Amino acid sequence: MNILITGGTGFIGSKLTTSLIKQGHNITILSRDSNKVSAIFGSTVTALSNLRLLTPDSSYQVIINLAGAPIFDARWSDARKQLLRNSRIDLTTQLVKSMSCMNIKPDVFISGSAIGYYGDQGDTILNEQSATQADFSQQLCADWEAAAISAEKYGIRVCLIRTGLVIADGGGLLQRMLLPFRLGLGGRLGEGKQWMSWIHRQDWIAIAEAMIADNSMHGAYNATAPNPVTNTEFTKTLAACLQRPALLPVPAWLLKTLLGEMSGLVLGSQRVIPDRLLAQGFKFQYQNLADAITNALHPEND
């Protein structure tokens, strides 16, 4: 199949692209940096530098939308918040507009989202139908999803993938945590009672591939393993996998001082269950956090 991916050089997108190439698909990556696409994939991938290059004659059976400025890379000033919104919502809106003009519409549009969609909900168990609690992340995800779901009016099947904390080597929040934990300086964040809903990157890729293959899948799916953990449990598991102590908790007041509103990303709680995937019969390769972290630390053993 011909597949167009935005965000195809990122932490998730690059591995998804590699997997799809191995399956024999023709991949085009939308990226302003064609040199980066070439550096990662060589001649196996076509680089598209601008959405304006999509024409009515462009033909893709699948479009996967993973683009968006990193949410944890900078403190949330008003300008940063606007960048986060523009890089997700505006691009998605433009992408749907491009699809609407295609003579042959895509079969499926898979668009990124996140479990921030639910807001901070403490110990409440959350599935795809759960109510939300408003905050910046929640509104960002809700508006992002609304922009994507608008593609349905053009007869395109839309799948929304609400991603949790992605566990894998080479990036993500886990990569940020490794140095202090390896130095024995890790610890729980705040009281450690907040829930962390996680997923191994390989399972995330398998979910996206299932969405491509199964035309009965549509709407929002929680891309999280069936066993969320508290921050305290996550901390203990990571420390045990590294065979290091975890003795230095970071108080909530310090995180709020350092990160401002963005501290909600690490102090907020989403106890998310992938009900729709489980009902679909999806089998997670990594259901246990220790197994997922061990693989991320030693990917060569996979």
Whole-angstrom Cα distance, residue 287 to residue 36? 33
Q: Is 183 part of a structural domain of the chain?
A: no
Tracing tokens 């302003």 back to the chain, one arrives at 32
Q: Is 179 part of a structural domain of the chain?
A: no
Q: Is 142 part of a structural domain of the chain?
A: yes
* Amino acid (one-letter) located at 131: A
Q: Residue 74: its pLDDT value, please? A: 87
Q: Is 263 part of a structural domain of the chain?
A: no
Q: Is 233 part of a structural domain of the chain?
A: no
Q: Residue 173: its pLDDT value, please? A: 84
Backbone angles phi, psi at 131, to 5 degrees: -65, 165
Residue stretches of the chain with pLDDT short of 70: 300-302
Whole-angstrom Cα distance, residue 41 to residue 1? 18
Tokens found for residue 284: 């997670």
Whole-angstrom Cα distance, residue 122 to residue 193? 8
Q: Residue 29: its pLDDT value, please? A: 95
Helix (H, G, I), strand (E, B) or coil at 243: coil
Whole-angstrom Cα distance, residue 15 to residue 70? 17
Strand pairing class (62-65; 2-6): parallel
Q: Is 57 part of a structural domain of the chain?
A: yes
Q: Residue 89: its pLDDT value, please? A: 96
Strand pairing class (195-196; 108-114): unpaired
| CATH number, domain containing residue 14 | 3.40.50.720
At 205-248, the pLDDT tens digits run 999 999 999 999 999 999 999 999 999 999 999 999 999 998 88
- How many domains is the chain built from? 1
Q: Residue 174: its pLDDT value, please? A: 86
| pTM of structure | 0.94
Q: Domain containing 152: what range? A: 2-168+197-228+273-285
